[in-house]
């Protein structure tokens, strides 16, 4: 993802700190008229009003003379003068969290907080997070025409990549893992999985896709551990065709081991429909996967056709509640009943529970009150490329 095309404004009253920020931007290839600067909020507003297009990112310190950073952010929100904002500060985390929430309430896209001192790695991760949100905000699920053989070539050329969405504990907000989600970088456009995975399945490429995403995800997980000390569980969707292969458990064990990981570090997500396609064979495969230590998650629970009897026979370790029920549970009594029944079922079967699509603090509170274990969704983070995960973790703050 090319950062050199970004335009960044640094708003910092301390001349030395501002010079450091500009030098770090230059190291990332952002310089000249793409690296703007201002010594206070008032001059920054005047500079922004003269721009033909708003900058991509504004890095702002809160503690500035005259117009402080909080007042400056309020003006930005009212006048729509910027695409994304990040706080660069050494102030109290509670205050920074309040400002973060305030900016989001104004409708601004907040990338989060970078603690001083600013480094090139922190800055790179932050700007990658902006690029990731920029991609996500585009219509990645708009229909695309795919030529014969194009997907096979994309897979071979490494154009189909894992992006990652954070999973956190609802009880305390602690990040515990990520889910790897396939994205196709097709030239200057990012294509979402709904547009290409069905065709990959028709062309017999789904197994190869799973292998590729799993291998890349393991590489990223080990890089986060080595470079940042981040030990995260890895969840990945498994192609339904994998459950028809008796040797897939050995294959996944070898693939994970080749990247220095153990099966206990990986949760394989399986849809209800794929479980039921060949129940007897699939049961044997999943039993071998559990024997080797892989976690097994039933994905999008509630939208398929599984019976409770069949669920009780499958060695799942996790139940994932579909986003469609989570988003509407507070207003729709039937969806609320599905969520509550799913959580009760998970407790009685001793399964971890994960709620997908959590986007508001009200949804977070609703799920926490009902004992849901983990949450995943835009409230916590959008899917981002591997480079941006350290920044996402640094910016994450549990809702009050």
Per-residue pLDDT reduced to its tens digit, 84-110: 888 888 777 778 777 877 777 677 788
Q: Are residues 372 and 252 in the same domain?
A: yes
Angle, CA 35 vertex, CA 29 and CA 37 arms, to 5°: 150
pLDDT, greater one: 82 or 39: 39
Which region among 12-16, 251-255, 393-397 has the lowest average model confidence (pLDDT)? 393-397
Range of the domain at 29: 8-137
Average pLDDT over residues 142-169: 92
Asked if 238 and 268 count as a contact pair (C-beta separation under 8 A), the reply is: yes
Quote the pLDDT of residue 307: 52
In a domain, 162, yes or no: yes
- 388 and 314 inside one domain: yes
Residue 145 lies in a domain: no
Does the residue 322 lie in any domain? yes
* Structural domain ending residue among the three candidates 95, 113, 137: 137
Instruction: Judge contact between 267 and 234, C-beta under 8 A.
Output: yes
Q: Which residue has tokens 């706080």? A: 87
Domain count, the chain: 2
| Per-residue CA distances from 239 to 153, 202, 212, 225 (Å) | 19, 12, 12, 27
Strand partners, 235: 179, 267
> Taking residues 307-312, what's their average pLDDT?
64
CATH number of domain containing 73 = 3.40.50.2300
Burial 303-339 (b: 16+ CB within 10 A, else e): eeebeeeebeebebbbbbbbbbbbbbbeeeeebbebb
What are the φ/ψ torsions at residue 350 (nearest 5 degrees)? Answer: 60, 45
Kindly report the number of other CB atoms within 10 A of residue 144's CB atom: 15
Between 22 and 239, the higher pLDDT residue: 22
**Residues 209-221: what's their mean pLDDT?**
97
Q: Is residue 142 part of a domain?
A: no
Query: Does a structural domain hold residue 233?
Result: yes
Two tokens, residue 65: 């003379």
Residue-level pLDDT at 304: 52
80 and 158 inside one domain: no
- In terms of domains, do 278 and 323 share one? yes
CATH code of the domain in which 380 resides: 3.20.20.450
**Of the residues 71, 102, 137, which one is the last residue of a structural domain?**
137
pLDDT tens string 354-384:
999 998 888 999 999 999 999 999 889 888 8
Same domain, 182 and 103: no
Residue-averaged pLDDT of the chain: 87
pLDDT band at 335 (very low <50, low <70, confident <90, very high): confident
pLDDT of residue 132 exceeding 80, the answer is no
Q: Are residues 329 and 295 in the same domain?
A: yes
155 with 102, same domain: the answer is: no
On whether residue 3 sits in a domain, the answer given is no
Q: Give the mean model confidence (pLDDT) for residues 213-238.
A: 96
Flag whether 254 is in a domain: yes
123 shares its domain with 157 = no
Residue 95 counted as domain residue: yes
In the predicted model, is pLDDT for residue 305 greater than 60?
A: no
Q: Are residues 240 and 382 in the same domain?
A: yes
Give the per-residue SS3 of the chain. Answer: CCCCCCCEEEECCCHHHHHHHHHHHHHCCCCHHHEEEECCHHHHHHHHHCCCCCCCEEEECCCCCCCCHHHHHHHHHHHCCCCEEEEEECCCHHHHHHHHHHHHHCCCCEEEEEECCCCHHHHHHHHHHHHHHHHHHCCCCCCCCCCCCHHHHHHHCCCEEEEEEEEEECCCCCEEEEEEEEEEEECCEEECHHHHHHHHHHCCCHHHHHHHHHHHHHHHHHHHHHHHCCCCEEEEECCHHHHHCCCHHHHHHHHHHHCCCCHHHEEEEEEHHHHHHCHHHHHHHHHHHHHHCCEEEEEEECCCCCCHHHHHHCCCCEEEECHHHHHHCCCCHHHHHHHHHHHHHHHHCCCEEEECCCCCHHHHHHHHHCCCCEECCCCCCCCEEHHHHHHHHHHCCCCC
The predicted-structure confidence for 33-42, as pLDDT tens digits, reads as follows 999 999 999 9
Indicate the length of the chain as a whole number: 400
279 lies in the same domain as 361: yes
Q: Is the pLDDT of residue 124 over 90?
A: no
Q: Check whether residue 66 and residue 180 sit in a common domain.
A: no
CB 237 within 8 A of CB 209: no
pLDDT at 242 over 90: no
Cβ count near 105 (within 10 Å): 9
Q: Is the four-CA dihedral 177, 111, 1, 27 of positive or negative sign?
A: negative
The pTM (predicted TM-score) of the whole model is 0.71
109/161 same-domain check: no
């Amino acid at each position: 993802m090319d950062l050199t095309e970004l335009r960044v404004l640094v708003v910092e009253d301390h001349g030395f700190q501002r010079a450091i920020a500009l030098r770090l931007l230059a190291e990332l290839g952002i310089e000249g008229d793409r690296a703007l600067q201002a010594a206070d909020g008032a001059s920054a507003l005047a500079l922004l009003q003269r721009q033909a297009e708003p900058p991509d990112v504004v890095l702002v310190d809160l503690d500035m003379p005259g117009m402080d950073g909080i007042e400056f952010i309020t003006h930005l929100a009212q006048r729509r003068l910027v695409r994304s904002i990040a706080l660069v500060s050494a102030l109290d985390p509670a205050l920074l969290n309040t400002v973060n929430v305030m900016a989001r309430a104004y409708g601004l896209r907040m990338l989060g907080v970078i603690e001083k001192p600013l480094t090139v790695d922190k800055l790179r991760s932050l700007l990658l997070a902006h690029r990731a949100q920029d991609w996500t905000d585009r219509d990645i699920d708009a229909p695309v025409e795919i030529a014969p053989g194009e997907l096979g070539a994309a897979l071979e050329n490494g154009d189909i990549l894992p992006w990652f969405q954070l999973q956190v504990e609802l009880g305390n907000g602690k990040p515990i893992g990520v889910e790897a989600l396939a994205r196709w970088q097709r030239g200057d456009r990012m294509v979402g999985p709904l547009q290409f995975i069905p065709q990959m399945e028709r062309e017999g490429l789904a197994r190869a896709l799973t292998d590729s995403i799993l291998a890349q995800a393991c590489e990223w997980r080990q890089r986060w551990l080595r470079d940042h000390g981040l030990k995260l569980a890895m969840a990945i969707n498994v192609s339904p065709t994998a459950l028809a292969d008796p040797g897939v458990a050995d294959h996944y064990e070898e693939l994970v081991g080749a990247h220095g990981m153990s099966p206990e570090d990986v949760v394989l997500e399986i849809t209800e429909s794929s479980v039921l396609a060949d129940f007897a064979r699939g049961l044997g495969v999943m039993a071998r996967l559990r024997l080797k230590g892989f976690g097994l998650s039933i994905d999008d629970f509630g939208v398929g056709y599984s019976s409770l009897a069949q669920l009780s026979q499958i060695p799942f370790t996790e139940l994932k509640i579909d986003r469609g029920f989570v988003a509407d549970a507070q207003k729709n009594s039937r969806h609320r009943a599905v969520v509550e029944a799913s959580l009760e079922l998970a407790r009685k079967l001793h399964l971890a529970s994960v709620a997908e699509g959590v986007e508001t603090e009200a949804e977070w509170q609703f799920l926490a009150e009902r004992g849901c274990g983990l949450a995943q969704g835009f409230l916590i983070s959008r899917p981002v490329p591997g480079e941006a995960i350290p920044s996402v973790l640094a910016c994450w703050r549990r809702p009050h």
